[in-house]
Amino acid sequence: MLNITDILETIGMIREENLDIRTITMGISLLDCVSEDENRVCEKVYDKITRTAKNLVSVGCDIEKKYGIPIVNKRVSVTPVSLIGGEMSPEGYLKLAHTLQRAAENLGINFIGGYSALVHKGMTQGEKNLISVIPEALAETQMVCSSVNVATTKAGINMDAIRMMGSAIKRAAYLTRDNNSIGCAKLVVFANVPEDNPFMAGAFHGVGEPDHVINVGVSGPGVVAAAIKRAGDCDLSELADVIKKTAFKITRVGQLVASEAAERLDTPFGIIDLSLAPTPAIGDSVAHILEEMGLESCGGCGTTAALAMLNDAVKKGGVMASSHVGGLSGAFIPVSEDAGMIAAVERGALTLEKLEAMTAVCSVGLDMIAIPGDVSEDVICGIIADEISIGVANTKTTAVRVIPAYGKKEGDAVSFGGLLGYAPVMSVKPYSPACFVARGGRIPAPIHSLKN
Amino acid sequence: MKAVITVTGKDSVGIIARVSAMCTEYNANIVDITQSVLSEYFAMIMLVEIGKLTIPFADFADKMADAGKACGLDIRAMHEDIFNTMHHI
pLDDT above 70 for A67 = yes
Distance from the Cα of B19 to chain A's closest Cα (Å) equals 17
Quote the pLDDT of residue B42.
82
A253 contacts on B by Cβ (under 8 Å): 82, 85-86
Residue in chain B lying closest to A68 (CA):
B78
Which pLDDT band holds residue A1 (cuts at 50, 70, 90)?
A: low
Which CATH number does the domain housing residue B26 bear? 3.30.70.260
B63 contacts on A by Cβ (under 8 Å): none
Element (H, E) at A64: helix A56-67
Q: Is A2 on the interface with B (CB under 8 A)?
A: yes
Quote the pLDDT of residue A281.
84
Residue in chain B lying closest to A60 (CA):
B58
Residue in chain A lying closest to B44 (CA):
A4
B46 by DSSP, 3-state: which?
Answer: strand
Cα–Cα distance, A394 to A372 (Å, whole number): 29
Q: Is there a contact between B87 and A10 if contact means CB atoms under 8 Å apart? A: yes
Q: Is A1 on the interface with B (CB under 8 A)?
A: no
Mean pLDDT of A264-281: 92
Distance from the Cα of B16 to chain A's closest Cα (Å) equals 17
Q: Is there a contact between B78 and A9 if contact means CB atoms under 8 Å apart? A: no
Quote the pLDDT of residue A122.
96
Mean pLDDT of A147-153: 98
Q: What is the number of alpha carbons within 13 Å of residue A101 lying toward its C-beta?
A: 15
Nearest CA to A187 out of A141, A124, A123 is that of A141
The gap from C-alpha A187 to its chain's centroid, in whole angstroms, comes to 10
Q: Is A256 on the interface with B (CB under 8 A)?
A: yes
What does DSSP assign to residue B28?
Answer: P
E runs forming strands in A29-100: 71-78
Quote the pLDDT of residue A168.
98
CA–CA–CA angle B25, B31, B35 (5° rounding): 95
Cα–Cα distance, A423 to A377 (Å, whole number): 20
Q: Which domain holds residue B53?
A: 2-87
**Which residue in B80, B82, B88 has the most chain A C-beta atoms within 10 A of its own C-beta, making it the best mutation to test that interface?**
B82
A61 contacts on B by Cβ (under 8 Å): 58
B6-64 pLDDT, tens per residue? 998 888 888 889 999 999 999 999 999 998 887 778 889 999 999 999 999 999 999 99
Quote the pLDDT of residue B89.
83
Mean pLDDT of chain A: 94
**Domain count along chain B:** 1
Are A174 and A303 in contact by the 8 Å Cβ rule? The answer is no
pLDDT above 90 for A159 = yes
Q: What percent of chain A has pLDDT over 90?
A: 88
Cα–Cα distance, B32 to B45 (Å, whole number): 8
A274 by DSSP, 3-state: which?
Answer: coil
Task: Give the per-residue SS3 of A93-110.
Answer: HHHHHHHHHHHHHHHCCC
Quote the pLDDT of residue B38.
73
Q: Is A228 on the interface with B (CB under 8 A)?
A: no
Which residues make Cβ contacts (< 8 Å) with residue A234, sequence separation at least 6?
A242
A426 by DSSP, 3-state: which?
Answer: coil
**Which residue in B8, B75, B87 has the most chain A C-beta atoms within 10 A of its own C-beta, making it the best mutation to test that interface?**
B87
Of A105-109, A183-187, A328-332, A434-438, the poorest mean pLDDT is in A328-332
Cα→Cα distances A406→A163, A178, B16, Å = 19, 9, 58
Q: Is there a contact between B6 and A6 if contact means CB atoms under 8 Å apart? A: no
Cα–Cα distance, A320 to A251 (Å, whole number): 9
Residue in chain B lying closest to A14 (CA):
B76
Are A413 and A92 in contact by the 8 Å Cβ rule? The answer is no
pTM exceeds 0.90: yes
Q: Is there a contact between B83 and A8 if contact means CB atoms under 8 Å apart? A: no
Q: Is there a contact between A253 and B85 if contact means CB atoms under 8 Å apart? A: yes
Distance from the Cα of A65 to chain B's closest Cα (Å) equals 5
Touching B: A residues 64-83, CB under 8 Å: 65-69
A75-89 pLDDT, tens per residue? 999 999 999 998 899
Nearest CA to B4 out of A248, A321, A8, A264 is that of A8
A118-130 pLDDT, tens per residue? 999 999 999 999 9
Distance from the Cα of A386 to chain B's closest Cα (Å) equals 40
Cα→Cα distances A236→A192, A228, A278, A357, A358, Å = 31, 11, 23, 21, 19
Mean pLDDT of A162-183: 97
Cα–Cα distance, A242 to A1 (Å, whole number): 23
Nearest CA to A295 out of A312, A285, A307 is that of A307
B63 CB-contact burial (10 Å; exposed 0-12 / middle 13-18 / buried 19+):
middle
**ipTM over 0.85 threshold:** yes
Quote the pLDDT of residue A175.
98
Cα–Cα distance, A2 to B47 (Å, whole number): 9
Q: Is there a contact between A2 and B4 if contact means CB atoms under 8 Å apart? A: yes
Single-letter amino acid, residue A340: G
Residue in chain A lying closest to B63 (CA):
A65
Q: Is A253 on the interface with B (CB under 8 A)?
A: yes
Are A324 and A270 in contact by the 8 Å Cβ rule? The answer is yes
Nearest CA to A276 out of A17, A89, A101 is that of A17
Quote the pLDDT of residue B36.
82
Mean pLDDT of A259-265: 96
Q: Is A219 on the interface with B (CB under 8 A)?
A: no
Single-letter amino acid, residue A358: M
**Which residue in A20, A66, A264 has the most chain B C-beta atoms within 10 A of its own C-beta, making it the best mutation to test that interface?**
A66
| Furthest CA-CA distance within chain B | 39
Cα–Cα distance, A24 to A69 (Å, whole number): 13
Domains located in chain A, CATH noted: 27-61+68-191 (3.20.70.20), 216-438 (3.20.70.20)
B8 contacts on A by Cβ (under 8 Å): 11
Residue in chain A lying closest to B45 (CA):
A4
A62 contacts on B by Cβ (under 8 Å): 58
Report the first-to-last Cα separation within chain B, whole angstroms.
19
pLDDT above 80 for A275 = yes
Single-letter amino acid, residue A17: E
Q: Is A11 on the interface with B (CB under 8 A)?
A: yes
